[in-house]
Structure 1
Amino acid sequence: MGGGGHNILSKVAFLIIVAACLVSVGYSGGTETPPDSVGRVAEPLAGTAWDLVAFRADNGSVATPLSGAEPLIIFGDSGTLSGSAGCNLYSATYRINGSGIKVEPVAVTAAYPAKAQALMQQESRYHELLVAAASYRVEGDRLIFYGPSGRELLIFARSGEPASVPLLGTEWQLARYSTTGSTVASPVPGTGVNLTFDPDGTLSGSAGCNAYSAPYLVNETGIAVERIVATKASATEPAGIMEQEAAYLALLRTAAGYRIVGDTLAVIDGNGRAILFFKAEG
Protein backbone atom coordinates (compact mmCIF):
# COMPACT_ATOMS: atom_id res chain seq x y z
CA MET A 1 0.00 0.00 0.00
CA GLY A 2 1.48 3.38 -0.95
CA GLY A 3 2.16 6.43 1.20
CA GLY A 4 -1.02 8.15 0.02
CA GLY A 5 -3.07 5.20 1.22
CA HIS A 6 -1.31 5.29 4.57
CA ASN A 7 -2.16 8.96 5.03
CA ILE A 8 -5.78 8.41 4.02
CA LEU A 9 -6.37 5.56 6.42
CA SER A 10 -4.21 6.78 9.25
CA LYS A 11 -5.86 10.17 9.13
CA VAL A 12 -9.15 8.53 9.96
CA ALA A 13 -8.50 5.72 11.70
CA PHE A 14 -10.59 6.05 14.12
CA LEU A 15 -11.66 8.84 13.04
CA ILE A 16 -14.22 8.19 14.46
CA ILE A 17 -17.11 9.64 16.80
CA VAL A 18 -18.91 7.27 19.13
CA ALA A 19 -22.46 6.44 18.12
CA ALA A 20 -24.06 7.02 21.47
CA CYS A 21 -23.00 10.67 21.27
CA LEU A 22 -24.63 11.93 18.13
CA VAL A 23 -23.53 15.52 18.40
CA SER A 24 -20.04 16.73 19.26
CA VAL A 25 -20.30 18.95 22.31
CA GLY A 26 -17.54 20.97 23.92
CA TYR A 27 -16.99 20.96 27.67
CA SER A 28 -14.57 22.91 29.81
CA GLY A 29 -12.16 20.96 31.96
CA GLY A 30 -12.26 21.50 35.67
CA THR A 31 -16.00 21.15 36.10
CA GLU A 32 -17.92 18.23 37.45
CA THR A 33 -20.30 16.52 35.03
CA PRO A 34 -23.80 15.98 36.48
CA PRO A 35 -25.32 12.52 36.29
CA ASP A 36 -27.99 11.80 33.70
CA SER A 37 -31.58 10.77 34.41
CA VAL A 38 -30.55 7.29 35.53
CA GLY A 39 -27.63 8.39 37.67
CA ARG A 40 -24.76 7.68 35.24
CA VAL A 41 -22.00 10.26 34.94
CA ALA A 42 -21.09 11.03 31.33
CA GLU A 43 -17.47 11.54 30.37
CA PRO A 44 -16.94 15.24 29.50
CA LEU A 45 -14.98 14.44 26.30
CA ALA A 46 -17.10 11.52 25.13
CA GLY A 47 -18.21 11.78 21.54
CA THR A 48 -15.62 14.34 20.46
CA ALA A 49 -12.78 14.11 17.94
CA TRP A 50 -9.67 16.28 17.72
CA ASP A 51 -6.71 16.83 15.37
CA LEU A 52 -3.25 17.49 16.81
CA VAL A 53 -1.90 20.94 15.89
CA ALA A 54 1.13 21.19 18.21
CA PHE A 55 3.13 19.08 20.65
CA ARG A 56 6.07 19.35 23.04
CA ALA A 57 9.18 18.05 21.28
CA ASP A 58 12.01 16.14 22.99
CA ASN A 59 14.08 19.32 23.28
CA GLY A 60 11.27 21.17 25.01
CA SER A 61 10.24 23.29 22.04
CA VAL A 62 6.73 23.37 20.61
CA ALA A 63 6.55 21.53 17.27
CA THR A 64 3.87 21.01 14.66
CA PRO A 65 3.03 17.52 13.37
CA LEU A 66 4.18 16.30 9.99
CA SER A 67 1.97 17.50 7.15
CA GLY A 68 -0.45 14.80 6.04
CA ALA A 69 0.32 12.70 9.12
CA GLU A 70 -1.31 14.72 11.88
CA PRO A 71 -2.38 12.55 14.84
CA LEU A 72 -6.07 12.30 15.61
CA ILE A 73 -7.83 11.40 18.86
CA ILE A 74 -11.42 10.27 19.36
CA PHE A 75 -13.01 9.83 22.77
CA GLY A 76 -15.49 7.01 23.25
CA ASP A 77 -18.35 7.04 25.74
CA SER A 78 -17.08 4.16 27.84
CA GLY A 79 -13.67 5.36 28.92
CA THR A 80 -11.94 4.45 25.67
CA LEU A 81 -10.09 6.58 23.17
CA SER A 82 -8.65 5.75 19.79
CA GLY A 83 -7.16 7.38 16.75
CA SER A 84 -4.13 7.67 14.53
CA ALA A 85 -0.67 8.74 15.63
CA GLY A 86 0.09 9.76 12.06
CA CYS A 87 0.53 6.31 10.54
CA ASN A 88 -0.32 3.54 12.99
CA LEU A 89 -3.63 3.27 14.79
CA TYR A 90 -3.88 3.24 18.57
CA SER A 91 -6.38 2.77 21.37
CA ALA A 92 -6.32 3.14 25.14
CA THR A 93 -8.52 3.52 28.18
CA TYR A 94 -8.70 6.80 30.04
CA ARG A 95 -10.18 8.26 33.22
CA ILE A 96 -11.28 11.81 33.95
CA ASN A 97 -11.68 13.32 37.41
CA GLY A 98 -12.56 17.00 37.27
CA SER A 99 -9.79 18.57 35.20
CA GLY A 100 -7.52 15.57 35.71
CA ILE A 101 -7.00 12.95 33.04
CA LYS A 102 -5.15 9.64 33.08
CA VAL A 103 -4.45 7.69 29.90
CA GLU A 104 -3.37 4.10 30.33
CA PRO A 105 -0.55 2.62 28.21
CA VAL A 106 -1.45 2.78 24.53
CA ALA A 107 -2.06 -0.30 22.37
CA VAL A 108 -0.81 0.22 18.83
CA THR A 109 -1.70 -1.73 15.71
CA ALA A 110 0.91 -2.61 13.13
CA ALA A 111 -1.54 -2.38 10.28
CA TYR A 112 0.20 0.57 8.71
CA PRO A 113 3.90 0.25 9.51
CA ALA A 114 5.75 3.52 9.85
CA LYS A 115 8.89 3.43 7.70
CA ALA A 116 10.08 7.04 7.67
CA GLN A 117 12.25 7.89 10.64
CA ALA A 118 10.59 11.25 11.26
CA LEU A 119 7.16 9.63 11.33
CA MET A 120 8.31 6.91 13.71
CA GLN A 121 9.77 9.57 16.02
CA GLN A 122 6.54 11.57 15.94
CA GLU A 123 4.45 8.52 16.79
CA SER A 124 6.70 7.54 19.67
CA ARG A 125 6.69 11.06 21.10
CA TYR A 126 2.94 11.40 20.70
CA HIS A 127 2.28 8.17 22.61
CA GLU A 128 4.72 9.25 25.32
CA LEU A 129 3.00 12.60 25.80
CA LEU A 130 -0.47 11.08 25.74
CA VAL A 131 0.35 8.78 28.64
CA ALA A 132 2.17 11.59 30.48
CA ALA A 133 -0.90 13.86 30.46
CA ALA A 134 -2.14 14.77 33.96
CA SER A 135 -4.82 17.37 33.23
CA TYR A 136 -6.72 18.91 30.37
CA ARG A 137 -8.77 21.93 29.38
CA VAL A 138 -11.10 22.74 26.52
CA GLU A 139 -10.81 26.35 25.35
CA GLY A 140 -13.22 27.04 22.51
CA ASP A 141 -12.21 24.74 19.68
CA ARG A 142 -8.94 23.76 21.37
CA LEU A 143 -8.21 20.80 23.63
CA ILE A 144 -4.99 21.07 25.64
CA PHE A 145 -3.26 18.31 27.60
CA TYR A 146 -0.91 19.35 30.41
CA GLY A 147 1.84 17.47 32.20
CA PRO A 148 2.12 17.11 36.00
CA SER A 149 4.00 20.43 36.17
CA GLY A 150 1.27 22.27 34.25
CA ARG A 151 3.30 22.49 31.06
CA GLU A 152 1.42 22.12 27.77
CA LEU A 153 2.11 18.76 26.14
CA LEU A 154 -0.44 18.36 23.36
CA ILE A 155 -2.69 20.89 21.66
CA PHE A 156 -5.61 19.70 19.54
CA ALA A 157 -8.17 21.47 17.35
CA ARG A 158 -11.73 20.20 17.16
CA SER A 159 -12.08 17.93 14.14
CA GLY A 160 -14.69 19.28 11.77
CA GLU A 161 -16.50 17.39 9.04
CA PRO A 162 -15.60 18.59 5.53
CA ALA A 163 -18.39 19.64 3.22
CA SER A 164 -16.39 18.68 0.12
CA VAL A 165 -17.03 14.94 0.55
CA PRO A 166 -20.61 14.46 1.77
CA LEU A 167 -21.83 11.20 3.22
CA LEU A 168 -24.85 11.10 0.90
CA GLY A 169 -24.40 10.75 -2.82
CA THR A 170 -20.71 9.74 -2.64
CA GLU A 171 -19.63 6.29 -3.79
CA TRP A 172 -17.47 4.83 -1.03
CA GLN A 173 -14.98 2.08 -1.85
CA LEU A 174 -13.97 -0.26 0.98
CA ALA A 175 -10.29 0.24 1.86
CA ARG A 176 -9.93 -1.62 5.18
CA TYR A 177 -12.15 -3.57 7.53
CA SER A 178 -11.88 -4.92 11.06
CA THR A 179 -11.35 -8.62 11.58
CA THR A 180 -10.68 -9.48 15.22
CA GLY A 181 -9.62 -7.26 18.09
CA SER A 182 -7.63 -4.31 16.73
CA THR A 183 -6.61 -6.12 13.55
CA VAL A 184 -7.61 -4.64 10.21
CA ALA A 185 -7.38 -6.20 6.78
CA SER A 186 -7.41 -5.06 3.17
CA PRO A 187 -10.20 -6.32 0.87
CA VAL A 188 -9.47 -9.26 -1.40
CA PRO A 189 -8.08 -7.73 -4.63
CA GLY A 190 -10.66 -7.42 -7.36
CA THR A 191 -13.73 -7.76 -5.13
CA GLY A 192 -14.83 -4.13 -5.40
CA VAL A 193 -16.82 -3.73 -2.17
CA ASN A 194 -18.61 -0.37 -2.17
CA LEU A 195 -21.34 1.64 -0.46
CA THR A 196 -23.60 4.55 -1.41
CA PHE A 197 -26.04 6.43 0.82
CA ASP A 198 -29.04 7.71 -1.14
CA PRO A 199 -31.05 10.73 0.07
CA ASP A 200 -34.22 8.60 0.19
CA GLY A 201 -32.91 6.76 3.26
CA THR A 202 -31.61 3.70 1.43
CA LEU A 203 -28.00 2.53 1.26
CA SER A 204 -26.79 0.10 -1.37
CA GLY A 205 -23.72 -1.34 -3.00
CA SER A 206 -21.76 -4.44 -3.85
CA ALA A 207 -20.46 -6.71 -1.10
CA GLY A 208 -17.99 -8.27 -3.52
CA CYS A 209 -20.22 -10.92 -5.07
CA ASN A 210 -23.77 -9.94 -4.16
CA ALA A 211 -25.57 -6.63 -4.39
CA TYR A 212 -27.16 -5.40 -1.16
CA SER A 213 -29.40 -2.63 0.12
CA ALA A 214 -30.91 -1.52 3.42
CA PRO A 215 -32.83 1.34 5.00
CA TYR A 216 -30.73 3.61 7.21
CA LEU A 217 -31.15 6.47 9.65
CA VAL A 218 -28.43 9.09 9.94
CA ASN A 219 -27.65 11.98 12.26
CA GLU A 220 -24.65 14.33 12.44
CA THR A 221 -22.35 11.53 13.61
CA GLY A 222 -24.71 8.64 14.28
CA ILE A 223 -26.02 6.04 11.90
CA ALA A 224 -28.29 3.02 12.18
CA VAL A 225 -28.59 0.38 9.47
CA GLU A 226 -31.86 -1.51 9.28
CA ARG A 227 -32.34 -5.00 7.82
CA ILE A 228 -29.89 -5.68 4.97
CA VAL A 229 -31.24 -7.46 1.89
CA ALA A 230 -28.72 -9.11 -0.46
CA THR A 231 -28.86 -11.23 -3.58
CA LYS A 232 -28.07 -14.95 -3.25
CA ALA A 233 -25.25 -15.55 -5.74
CA SER A 234 -22.15 -17.52 -4.77
CA ALA A 235 -18.58 -17.37 -6.05
CA THR A 236 -15.37 -19.32 -5.51
CA GLU A 237 -12.97 -16.82 -7.09
CA PRO A 238 -11.09 -14.92 -5.97
CA ALA A 239 -10.32 -17.01 -2.92
CA GLY A 240 -11.97 -15.73 0.25
CA ILE A 241 -14.57 -13.57 -1.47
CA MET A 242 -17.60 -15.12 0.23
CA GLU A 243 -16.00 -15.12 3.69
CA GLN A 244 -15.10 -11.47 3.24
CA GLU A 245 -18.63 -10.67 2.08
CA ALA A 246 -20.16 -12.28 5.15
CA ALA A 247 -17.77 -10.40 7.44
CA TYR A 248 -18.44 -7.09 5.70
CA LEU A 249 -22.23 -7.35 5.90
CA ALA A 250 -22.05 -8.44 9.53
CA LEU A 251 -19.93 -5.38 10.37
CA LEU A 252 -22.24 -3.06 8.44
CA ARG A 253 -25.19 -4.32 10.50
CA THR A 254 -23.44 -3.13 13.68
CA ALA A 255 -22.81 0.40 12.39
CA ALA A 256 -23.71 3.01 14.98
CA GLY A 257 -21.65 6.04 14.04
CA TYR A 258 -19.41 7.49 11.39
CA ARG A 259 -16.75 10.10 10.76
CA ILE A 260 -15.49 11.69 7.53
CA VAL A 261 -11.93 13.03 7.42
CA GLY A 262 -10.63 14.21 4.08
CA ASP A 263 -11.87 11.71 1.49
CA THR A 264 -12.16 8.83 3.94
CA LEU A 265 -15.26 7.54 5.72
CA ALA A 266 -14.82 5.56 8.94
CA VAL A 267 -17.77 3.57 10.28
CA ILE A 268 -17.80 2.68 13.99
CA ASP A 269 -19.81 0.30 16.11
CA GLY A 270 -21.67 0.95 19.36
CA ASN A 271 -18.51 0.43 21.41
CA GLY A 272 -16.69 3.21 19.59
CA ARG A 273 -14.51 0.77 17.63
CA ALA A 274 -13.65 1.60 14.02
CA ILE A 275 -14.82 -1.31 11.90
CA LEU A 276 -14.97 -0.16 8.27
CA PHE A 277 -12.85 2.32 6.32
CA PHE A 278 -13.92 3.61 2.90
CA LYS A 279 -12.31 5.93 0.37
CA ALA A 280 -14.41 8.29 -1.74
CA GLU A 281 -14.34 7.42 -5.42
CA GLY A 282 -13.55 10.44 -7.57
Structure 2
Amino acid sequence: MGREGQNILAKTAFLIVVAACIVSVAWTGGADTSPDETDRITEPLSGTAWNLVEFRADNGSVVAPLHGKAPLIAFGESGTLTGSAGCNLYSASYRINGSTIAVEPVVATAAYPANEQELVRQENRYRELLVAAASYRVEDNRLTISGPSGRELLAFARAEQPESAPLLATEWHLARYTNGSGSTVASPVPGTDITLVFDGDGTLSGSAGCNAYSAPYRVNETGLSVDRVIATKASFTEPAGVMEQEKAYLDLLRSAAGYRIVGDTLAVIDGSGRAILFFTTEG
Protein backbone atom coordinates (compact mmCIF):
# COMPACT_ATOMS: atom_id res chain seq x y z
CA MET A 1 0.00 0.00 0.00
CA GLY A 2 1.41 3.46 -0.91
CA ARG A 3 1.98 6.29 1.56
CA GLU A 4 -1.17 8.11 0.45
CA GLY A 5 -3.24 4.98 1.01
CA GLN A 6 -1.72 4.49 4.45
CA ASN A 7 -2.51 8.08 5.41
CA ILE A 8 -6.13 7.62 4.36
CA LEU A 9 -6.38 4.31 6.25
CA ALA A 10 -5.02 5.82 9.46
CA LYS A 11 -7.02 9.01 9.26
CA THR A 12 -10.36 7.39 8.58
CA ALA A 13 -10.07 5.36 11.81
CA PHE A 14 -11.67 8.27 13.61
CA LEU A 15 -13.13 11.75 13.07
CA ILE A 16 -12.94 14.29 15.83
CA VAL A 17 -13.88 17.89 15.25
CA VAL A 18 -12.06 20.42 17.42
CA ALA A 19 -12.33 24.18 17.13
CA ALA A 20 -8.91 25.58 16.27
CA CYS A 21 -7.90 29.13 17.03
CA ILE A 22 -4.62 30.37 15.61
CA VAL A 23 -3.30 33.86 16.07
CA SER A 24 -0.97 34.93 13.29
CA VAL A 25 1.49 37.80 13.55
CA ALA A 26 2.20 39.88 10.45
CA TRP A 27 5.85 40.55 9.57
CA THR A 28 6.36 43.86 7.86
CA GLY A 29 9.38 45.36 6.25
CA GLY A 30 9.33 48.80 7.92
CA ALA A 31 8.45 50.62 11.12
CA ASP A 32 5.06 52.23 11.58
CA THR A 33 4.59 55.00 14.12
CA SER A 34 1.24 56.24 12.82
CA PRO A 35 -2.11 55.43 14.40
CA ASP A 36 -3.57 52.13 13.25
CA GLU A 37 -7.21 51.47 12.43
CA THR A 38 -8.15 51.58 16.13
CA ASP A 39 -6.27 54.87 16.72
CA ARG A 40 -3.62 53.01 18.75
CA ILE A 41 -0.05 54.24 18.22
CA THR A 42 2.21 51.39 17.11
CA GLU A 43 5.69 51.49 18.65
CA PRO A 44 8.54 51.84 16.14
CA LEU A 45 9.92 48.28 16.12
CA SER A 46 6.55 46.51 16.15
CA GLY A 47 6.17 44.10 13.26
CA THR A 48 9.83 44.19 12.20
CA ALA A 49 12.32 41.32 11.99
CA TRP A 50 16.14 41.45 12.07
CA ASN A 51 19.13 39.13 11.60
CA LEU A 52 22.16 39.50 13.88
CA VAL A 53 25.30 40.59 12.03
CA GLU A 54 27.62 41.56 14.92
CA PHE A 55 27.78 41.20 18.68
CA ARG A 56 30.07 42.10 21.56
CA ALA A 57 32.10 39.05 22.61
CA ASP A 58 33.16 38.29 26.19
CA ASN A 59 36.58 39.85 25.57
CA GLY A 60 35.04 43.10 24.34
CA SER A 61 35.73 42.60 20.65
CA VAL A 62 33.02 42.85 18.01
CA VAL A 63 32.50 39.55 16.16
CA ALA A 64 30.16 38.05 13.58
CA PRO A 65 27.82 35.18 14.52
CA LEU A 66 28.59 31.61 13.49
CA HIS A 67 27.99 31.00 9.79
CA GLY A 68 24.47 29.75 9.14
CA LYS A 69 23.51 30.13 12.82
CA ALA A 70 22.86 33.87 13.13
CA PRO A 71 20.17 34.74 15.69
CA LEU A 72 16.92 36.28 14.48
CA ILE A 73 14.72 38.70 16.42
CA ALA A 74 11.12 39.65 15.61
CA PHE A 75 9.20 42.34 17.50
CA GLY A 76 5.53 41.56 17.98
CA GLU A 77 2.68 44.00 18.38
CA SER A 78 1.90 43.08 21.99
CA GLY A 79 5.19 43.88 23.72
CA THR A 80 6.68 40.45 23.04
CA LEU A 81 9.76 39.67 20.99
CA THR A 82 10.51 36.20 19.65
CA GLY A 83 13.06 34.55 17.43
CA SER A 84 15.76 31.98 16.97
CA ALA A 85 19.00 32.25 18.97
CA GLY A 86 20.76 30.14 16.33
CA CYS A 87 19.32 26.76 17.35
CA ASN A 88 16.82 27.37 20.13
CA LEU A 89 13.72 29.53 19.97
CA TYR A 90 13.23 32.26 22.57
CA SER A 91 10.76 34.90 23.64
CA ALA A 92 10.68 37.82 26.08
CA SER A 93 8.62 40.85 27.00
CA TYR A 94 10.01 44.24 26.06
CA ARG A 95 9.18 47.92 26.58
CA ILE A 96 10.14 50.92 24.45
CA ASN A 97 10.03 54.58 25.49
CA GLY A 98 11.55 56.91 22.95
CA SER A 99 15.02 55.56 22.21
CA THR A 100 15.19 53.42 25.35
CA ILE A 101 14.40 49.71 25.41
CA ALA A 102 14.10 47.23 28.26
CA VAL A 103 13.98 43.47 27.74
CA GLU A 104 12.72 41.11 30.44
CA PRO A 105 14.53 37.79 31.15
CA VAL A 106 14.45 35.55 28.09
CA VAL A 107 12.56 32.25 28.04
CA ALA A 108 14.18 29.79 25.64
CA THR A 109 13.95 26.20 24.54
CA ALA A 110 16.89 23.98 25.50
CA ALA A 111 17.99 21.67 22.72
CA TYR A 112 21.38 21.63 21.03
CA PRO A 113 23.06 19.39 18.48
CA ALA A 114 25.67 17.20 20.16
CA ASN A 115 29.18 18.69 20.49
CA GLU A 116 28.11 22.22 19.52
CA GLN A 117 29.88 24.09 22.32
CA GLU A 118 30.56 27.16 20.15
CA LEU A 119 26.86 27.45 19.43
CA VAL A 120 26.02 27.06 23.12
CA ARG A 121 28.41 29.89 24.02
CA GLN A 122 27.05 32.13 21.28
CA GLU A 123 23.44 31.60 22.33
CA ASN A 124 24.23 32.25 25.99
CA ARG A 125 26.11 35.44 25.12
CA TYR A 126 23.36 36.62 22.78
CA ARG A 127 20.67 36.23 25.43
CA GLU A 128 22.87 37.94 28.01
CA LEU A 129 23.40 40.95 25.75
CA LEU A 130 19.73 41.13 24.82
CA VAL A 131 18.66 41.43 28.46
CA ALA A 132 21.35 44.11 29.01
CA ALA A 133 19.75 46.36 26.33
CA ALA A 134 19.17 49.96 27.39
CA SER A 135 18.80 51.90 24.14
CA TYR A 136 18.44 51.35 20.42
CA ARG A 137 18.64 53.18 17.12
CA VAL A 138 17.61 52.37 13.57
CA GLU A 139 19.61 53.72 10.67
CA ASP A 140 18.46 52.66 7.22
CA ASN A 141 18.29 48.84 7.44
CA ARG A 142 20.45 48.48 10.55
CA LEU A 143 19.27 48.12 14.16
CA THR A 144 21.83 48.73 16.91
CA ILE A 145 21.20 47.90 20.57
CA SER A 146 23.44 49.46 23.24
CA GLY A 147 23.92 48.90 26.95
CA PRO A 148 23.52 51.36 29.87
CA SER A 149 26.95 52.89 29.20
CA GLY A 150 26.11 53.52 25.54
CA ARG A 151 28.43 50.77 24.35
CA GLU A 152 27.07 48.93 21.33
CA LEU A 153 26.16 45.33 22.15
CA LEU A 154 24.19 43.94 19.20
CA ALA A 155 23.84 44.97 15.56
CA PHE A 156 21.17 43.58 13.24
CA ALA A 157 20.31 43.87 9.56
CA ARG A 158 16.68 44.07 8.52
CA ALA A 159 15.40 40.61 7.61
CA GLU A 160 13.66 39.84 4.38
CA GLN A 161 9.99 39.18 4.93
CA PRO A 162 9.75 35.41 5.53
CA GLU A 163 7.23 33.24 3.79
CA SER A 164 6.12 32.15 7.26
CA ALA A 165 4.28 28.93 6.52
CA PRO A 166 0.98 28.54 8.39
CA LEU A 167 0.52 25.72 10.86
CA LEU A 168 -2.44 24.33 8.92
CA ALA A 169 -2.37 23.26 5.27
CA THR A 170 1.43 22.89 5.28
CA GLU A 171 3.28 19.57 4.93
CA TRP A 172 5.99 19.71 7.58
CA HIS A 173 9.10 17.52 7.27
CA LEU A 174 11.06 16.50 10.36
CA ALA A 175 14.54 18.03 10.34
CA ARG A 176 15.74 17.27 13.88
CA TYR A 177 14.47 15.70 17.07
CA THR A 178 15.71 15.40 20.65
CA ASN A 179 16.37 12.45 22.90
CA GLY A 180 14.24 11.92 25.98
CA SER A 181 16.20 14.35 28.16
CA GLY A 182 16.41 17.05 25.48
CA SER A 183 20.20 17.22 25.87
CA THR A 184 21.08 16.11 22.33
CA VAL A 185 19.54 16.63 18.91
CA ALA A 186 19.55 14.03 16.13
CA SER A 187 18.74 14.15 12.43
CA PRO A 188 16.37 11.62 10.85
CA VAL A 189 17.79 8.33 9.59
CA PRO A 190 19.02 8.85 6.00
CA GLY A 191 16.46 7.67 3.49
CA THR A 192 13.48 8.38 5.75
CA ASP A 193 11.00 11.26 5.53
CA ILE A 194 8.83 11.92 8.59
CA THR A 195 5.94 14.25 7.80
CA LEU A 196 3.25 16.10 9.72
CA VAL A 197 0.10 17.81 8.41
CA PHE A 198 -2.46 19.68 10.56
CA ASP A 199 -5.94 19.66 9.06
CA GLY A 200 -8.72 22.09 9.93
CA ASP A 201 -11.00 19.29 11.17
CA GLY A 202 -8.88 18.84 14.31
CA THR A 203 -6.82 15.89 13.09
CA LEU A 204 -3.15 15.65 12.25
CA SER A 205 -1.58 12.94 10.11
CA GLY A 206 1.55 11.96 8.26
CA SER A 207 4.24 9.34 7.83
CA ALA A 208 6.38 8.34 10.82
CA GLY A 209 9.07 7.07 8.46
CA CYS A 210 7.55 3.63 8.00
CA ASN A 211 3.92 3.71 9.14
CA ALA A 212 1.20 6.26 8.53
CA TYR A 213 -0.25 7.83 11.67
CA SER A 214 -3.00 10.22 12.73
CA ALA A 215 -4.33 11.76 15.93
CA PRO A 216 -6.75 14.39 17.20
CA TYR A 217 -5.14 17.64 18.28
CA ARG A 218 -6.12 20.85 20.01
CA VAL A 219 -4.45 24.18 19.37
CA ASN A 220 -4.87 27.64 20.89
CA GLU A 221 -2.47 30.43 19.97
CA THR A 222 0.91 28.75 20.77
CA GLY A 223 -0.51 25.84 22.80
CA LEU A 224 -0.73 22.37 21.26
CA SER A 225 -1.88 19.01 22.60
CA VAL A 226 -1.99 15.67 20.79
CA ASP A 227 -4.13 12.72 21.90
CA ARG A 228 -4.49 9.04 21.01
CA VAL A 229 -1.97 8.68 18.20
CA ILE A 230 -2.80 5.66 16.01
CA ALA A 231 -0.61 4.17 13.31
CA THR A 232 -0.55 1.37 10.80
CA LYS A 233 1.32 -1.80 11.80
CA ALA A 234 3.95 -2.38 9.12
CA SER A 235 7.47 -3.33 10.26
CA PHE A 236 10.56 -2.34 8.29
CA THR A 237 14.12 -3.58 8.77
CA GLU A 238 15.72 -1.09 6.38
CA PRO A 239 17.15 1.43 6.74
CA ALA A 240 18.71 0.45 10.05
CA GLY A 241 17.09 2.14 13.05
CA VAL A 242 13.91 3.20 11.27
CA MET A 243 11.55 1.50 13.72
CA GLU A 244 13.38 2.84 16.80
CA GLN A 245 13.24 6.30 15.27
CA GLU A 246 9.52 5.92 14.57
CA LYS A 247 8.77 5.00 18.18
CA ALA A 248 10.85 7.92 19.48
CA TYR A 249 9.09 10.34 17.13
CA LEU A 250 5.57 9.25 18.06
CA ASP A 251 6.42 9.36 21.78
CA LEU A 252 7.72 12.92 21.41
CA LEU A 253 4.65 13.95 19.43
CA ARG A 254 2.40 12.68 22.24
CA SER A 255 4.24 14.93 24.71
CA ALA A 256 3.59 18.12 22.71
CA ALA A 257 2.43 21.11 24.77
CA GLY A 258 3.12 24.03 22.45
CA TYR A 259 4.63 25.19 19.18
CA ARG A 260 6.45 28.11 17.59
CA ILE A 261 6.82 29.03 13.92
CA VAL A 262 9.83 31.13 12.91
CA GLY A 263 9.89 31.76 9.17
CA ASP A 264 9.58 28.32 7.57
CA THR A 265 10.55 26.34 10.68
CA LEU A 266 8.11 24.72 13.12
CA ALA A 267 9.28 23.74 16.60
CA VAL A 268 7.10 21.52 18.78
CA ILE A 269 7.66 22.17 22.49
CA ASP A 270 6.99 19.94 25.50
CA GLY A 271 5.52 20.90 28.86
CA SER A 272 8.95 21.93 30.20
CA GLY A 273 9.44 24.48 27.42
CA ARG A 274 11.98 22.35 25.54
CA ALA A 275 11.89 22.16 21.76
CA ILE A 276 11.62 18.43 21.02
CA LEU A 277 10.76 18.30 17.29
CA PHE A 278 11.97 20.63 14.55
CA PHE A 279 10.22 20.66 11.14
CA THR A 280 10.77 22.56 7.91
CA THR A 281 8.60 22.96 4.83
CA GLU A 282 11.11 21.12 2.62
CA GLY A 283 11.69 17.37 2.64
What TM-score, normalized by structure 1, do the two folds share?
0.57
Question: Which residue of 2 is the match for residue 92 of structure 1?
Answer: 92
Question: Which residue of 2 is the match for residue 73 of structure 1?
Answer: 73
Question: Which residue of 2 is the match for residue 194 of structure 1?
Answer: 195
Question: Which residue of 2 is the match for residue 57 of structure 1?
Answer: 57
Separation in 2, partners of 1:43, 1:275: 34
* C-alpha distance 146-114 of structure 1, shift in aligned 2 (>3 A): farther
Work out which structure has the larger RCO, using CA pairs closer than 8 Å and 6 or more positions apart in sequence: 1
In 2, are the aligned partners of 1:52 and 1:70 still within 8 Å (CA)? yes
Separation in 2, partners of 1:109, 1:94: 19
What TM-score, normalized by structure 2, do the two folds share?
0.57
Matches within 5 A, 1:18-167: 20-27=24-31, 34=35, 36-37=37-38, 39-112=39-112, 115-160=115-160
2:155 alignment partner, SS class: strand
1:26 partner amino acid? G
1:48 deviation in Å? Answer: 2.5
145-154 or 79-88, which deviates more: 79-88
Separation in 2, partners of 1:46, 1:205: 35
Separation in 2, partners of 1:62, 1:243: 43
In 1, are the aligned partners of 2:171 and 2:196 still within 8 Å (CA)? yes
1:44 deviation in Å? Answer: 3.0
1:142 deviation in Å? Answer: 1.5
1:120 alignment partner, SS class: helix
> Please, what is the CA RMSD of the aligned residues?
5.2
* C-alpha distance 54-235 of structure 1, shift in aligned 2 (>3 A): same
- Write out per-residue CA displacement over residues 3-62 of structure 1, whole angstroms, 9 at most, x where no aligned residue: xxxxxxxxxxxxxxx96443413228xxx653541x544343233322110012233322
1:192 deviation in Å? Answer: 4.5
112-121 or 82-91, which deviates more: 112-121
* Unaligned segments of structure 2, at least 5 residues: 1-21, 198-203, 215-229, 235-242, 269-274
1:91 alignment partner, SS class: strand
Question: Which residue of 2 is the match for residue 278 of structure 1?
Answer: 279
* TM superposition outliers: structure 1 runs of 4+ over 6 Å: 185-191, 240-248
* C-alpha distance 129-210 of structure 1, shift in aligned 2 (>3 A): same
Task: Work out the number of aligned pairs and report it.
Answer: 231
In 2, are the aligned partners of 1:136 and 1:144 still within 8 Å (CA)? yes
* C-alpha distance 21-245 of structure 1, shift in aligned 2 (>3 A): closer
In 2, are the aligned partners of 1:188 and 1:241 still within 8 Å (CA)? no
Separation in 1, partners of 2:161, 2:145: 23
1:63 deviation in Å? Answer: 1.2
Separation in 2, partners of 1:49, 1:244: 30
1:207 deviation in Å? Answer: 5.2
2:147 partner amino acid? G
* Unaligned segments of structure 1, at least 5 residues: 1-17, 197-203, 213-231, 269-273
- Write out per-residue CA displacement over residues 59-81 of structure 1, whole angstroms, 9 at most, x where no aligned residue: 33221112222122122332222
* C-alpha distance 61-266 of structure 1, shift in aligned 2 (>3 A): same
In 1, are the aligned partners of 2:102 and 2:134 still within 8 Å (CA)? yes
Separation in 1, partners of 2:25, 2:76: 9
* C-alpha distance 98-60 of structure 1, shift in aligned 2 (>3 A): same
In 2, are the aligned partners of 1:89 and 1:111 still within 8 Å (CA)? no
1:102 deviation in Å? Answer: 0.6
